[in-house]
Amino acid sequence: MCIRDRTKEIKTPWGKIIPEVSLFPIYYLIFIYCFAYILPYGKFFIGISWFDWLRSEDGPLEWIQFIEYATSSLFSFLIFLKKRNKKEINSIIWIFLACTLFLIAGEEISWGERLTGIGITSISNLNVQGETNFHNLPFFHNYLLDPVFEITCIFLGWFGWRRFTKLNSMPEKYLSLYFLFVALFYFYFDISWASTTQQIRNDQEIFEFLLSTGIFLHCLKNMKFKKLKKLGIFKL
């Protein structure tokens, strides 16, 4: 069921608009590109611009993604445990999500190598970034990574909630922009490589943050914390 909150009415000269999707992704991107991008004194305080700090490897957005994926994995597993029929499709999707999100969380921090400095040399020697993870191995990184993002985000942001209306394991329409903006970014990113136009900036972390946040909010909602519902956390 799509969440509609009349307290989120947008007043315009032409009347009131009640959006059926969360507008947080739009506000977030406006903040990033209209404020953080031009925020001064970054080089004075941290040696690089605030914008580059946000989108950097091991930057704040990437660590938030790790926390969100790890927490979402735990939530998905707990939701699976609450299901009476563990063999129904809804339960299977939840346990699949739990395992997949755990793997993604591990990949985000190169399975602890970024924390401990300990990695697997045989993997890092092949890795395009010299790290112990699998998503940056040459074949997956060069040919599969972007299509996986695009297909996954279109499925979660459009096809899933339209086709599987009775499965609470599918993110609802309200969260669709968290996923569709990521798909749009990667489509444009790939076109910029294939065309003669100048490639866009390396802003993957900025958009991937929306993906992890959308998944986190989806899992959080299905945990059904009563106190969070009273706070309106699911109406962001």
pLDDT of residue 125: 85
pLDDT of residue 67: 97
Q: Can you tell me the distance from the alpha carbon of 190 to that of 195, in angstroms, rounded to the nearest whole number?
A: 9
Q: Can you tell me the distance from the alpha carbon of 165 to that of 88, in angstroms, rounded to the nearest whole number?
A: 15
| pLDDT tens string 116-126 | 888 888 788 88
> Hey, what amino acid is at 17?
I
Tracing tokens 């755990």 back to the chain, one arrives at 102
pLDDT of residue 228: 55
Q: Can you tell me the distance from the alpha carbon of 227 to that of 190, in angstroms, rounded to the nearest whole number?
A: 42
| pTM of model > 0.85 | yes
Q: Rounded to a whole number, what is the distance in angstroms from the first to the last CA of the chain?
A: 16
3-state secondary structure (DSSP) of residue 16: strand
pLDDT level of residue 7 (50, 70, 90 thresholds): very low
Q: Can you tell me the distance from the alpha carbon of 150 to that of 59, in angstroms, rounded to the nearest whole number?
A: 23
| pLDDT tens string 69-79 | 999 999 999 99
pLDDT level of residue 142 (50, 70, 90 thresholds): confident
